[in-house]
Amino acid sequence: MSARPSTSSTHLPPAPSIPPAIHHLATPAPILIDSILPSYLLPNVLNLLRDSSRSVVRRKKEEEDQLRAEGLLLPLQSDTSGQGQGQGKGKGKVDEGHEEERLVEVALGKKVERIGLMVGGYIAEKLTLARPPLATHLDMIKFICKDLFLYVYSKQIDNLRTNHRGIFVLQSHSFPPLSNLSSHRGSSADMETAKLHLLFPQALIQGALARLGMHAIVTAESAGLPQCTFQIRTIKNPAAGTGNVNNPSTPSLAGTPTPNQGAGVGPGNVGATAGASASAGAGVSQHPGQGQGQGGRNTVAGLGIVTPSV
């Protein structure tokens, strides 16, 4: 009598016959770069954009001077008032130099803003491609604090506060783009440089929110490196507030744009600092970010979001 075959078998299923090249494409090896590399490249990128803006400003000025020489444009007031005066001509050259640098910085800010708006929109579209749409403004802001910042800066926002009337304050105690910012010129010069470095992050947030369907004005300030505070003000009608739907706002080099009539918030409510002075000015609740707060309010764990209790 022959023995019955065993029901238990250690036979493994055959490995799928997938070509190694296709398997490598499905599971690519991670490509890692130094986390400090963007900080080294950013000044060079800003200098490149500044040189490009200076070339555009000078070419435009040359074209205007040529049109004035041909009589197609009215002469400048400084040219007519300074004729025949040597000191007036020297002063006029100095004024022209200052005006040129001002126009270059304005053009540089606009270029950085356009890049940030485009990149923020693409990243938001990529991260929300396989998830349900975000219904409320608070969900969109939480997406910015958690997913967007973790994807771009490998660090979430430390604190989020809102007054539930369209104003959100995002605080980062150690903002990565500002953590390694230092120079031999001193802290005051570093603070001026930080204003330019904050143009891209605030445009990044604004572009992501616009792609999610939330029209807002984003401003950024730093009371002391490497701390950073972002203030987001929602607007109901972008055309009424700024006159341009495609470009909701142009962040200024000082971190605070010109107040718009459609925003409904005065200039005194914009200056967000680490001491929560902007939070108090904008009517943002000052309850603690952990556990049950006072006055019947609770907070969202991990973000310090003040929400009314149910």
CA distance 255 to 145: 20
In the chain, beta strands by DSSP E: 159-162, 167-172, 216-221, 228-234, 297-300, 305-308
Domains of the chain, first to last: 41-308 (3.30.1380.20)
Beta strands 159-162 and 216-221 are unpaired
Instruction: Write the CB contacts of 225 (distance below 8 Å, at least 6 apart in sequence).
Output: 178, 179, 181, 182, 187, 190, 191, 194
The model's pLDDT over 118-165, given as tens digits with 9 standing for 90+, comes to 999 999 998 998 888 888 999 999 999 999 999 888 889 999 999 888
Q: What does the block give as tokens for 57? A: 């400003």
Per-residue pLDDT of the chain (310 residues; tens, 9 = 90+): 555 555 555 556 666 677 777 777 777 676 666 667 777 788 888 889 999 999 999 999 899 888 888 888 888 775 555 554 555 555 556 677 788 889 999 999 999 999 999 999 999 998 998 888 888 999 999 999 999 999 888 889 999 999 888 899 999 998 888 887 777 777 788 888 888 888 999 999 999 999 999 999 999 998 888 889 999 999 876 555 444 444 444 444 444 443 344 434 333 343 333 333 344 344 444 444 444 444 444 444 445 555 444 3
H helices of 10-85, in order, are 20-26, 37-69, 77-81
117 and 249 Cβ atoms separated by less than 8 Å = no
Q: Is the pTM of this model over 0.75?
A: no
Helix (H, G, I), strand (E, B) or coil at 285: coil
Q: CA-CA-CA-CA torsion for 111, 261, 206, 192, nearest 10 degrees?
A: 60
Q: Does residue 278 come out as left (phi exceeding 0), alpha (psi in the -120 to 50 range) or beta?
A: alpha
Beta strands 297-300 and 159-162 are unpaired
CA distance 302 to 31: 30
The model's pLDDT over 11-34, given as tens digits with 9 standing for 90+, comes to 566 666 777 777 777 776 766 666
